[in-house]
Amino acid sequence: MADLSKTLYFSVKNEPEIHVKEVLRVVYAAMEEKGYNPVSQIVGYIMSGDPTYITSYKGARSMIMKVERDDLVEELLKEYVRNRSWENEET
């Protein structure tokens, strides 16, 4: 019979932290490799939440689904502002 006077411990390994920039880089590259327009497809996913906008090639779909959509938007906007892209555009 088991000794019930002692506490047993177990640990669960957490998945490594997902960096939004890396997810976007991998997803963008996978979409390009498959011949899709990455910008249109990622926008479609962000707006609708429908993961079928993202290819499953190279695990891109499962990877992007691990990131909150608002975190994707935040990262994209931060990068846009960081590069001050609107100053380089002609209207």
pLDDT tens-digit readout, 4-29: 778 777 766 665 667 999 999 999 99
1 compared with 35, residue with greater pLDDT: 35
Give the pLDDT confidence of 18-72 residue by residue, as tens digits: 799 999 999 999 999 999 999 999 999 999 999 999 999 999 999 999 999 999 9
What integer pLDDT is reported at residue 73 of this predicted model? 96
Q: Where are the domains of the chain?
A: 20-83
Concatenate the DSSP letters of all residues of the chain into one string: ---TTS------PPPPPPPHHHHHHHHHHHHHHTT--HHHHHHHHHHH--GGGS--GGGHHHHHTTS-HHHHHHHHHHHHHHTTGGGT---
Confidence band of 86 (pLDDT split at 50, 70, 90):
low
What integer pLDDT is reported at residue 15 of this predicted model? 58
What integer pLDDT is reported at residue 12 of this predicted model? 63
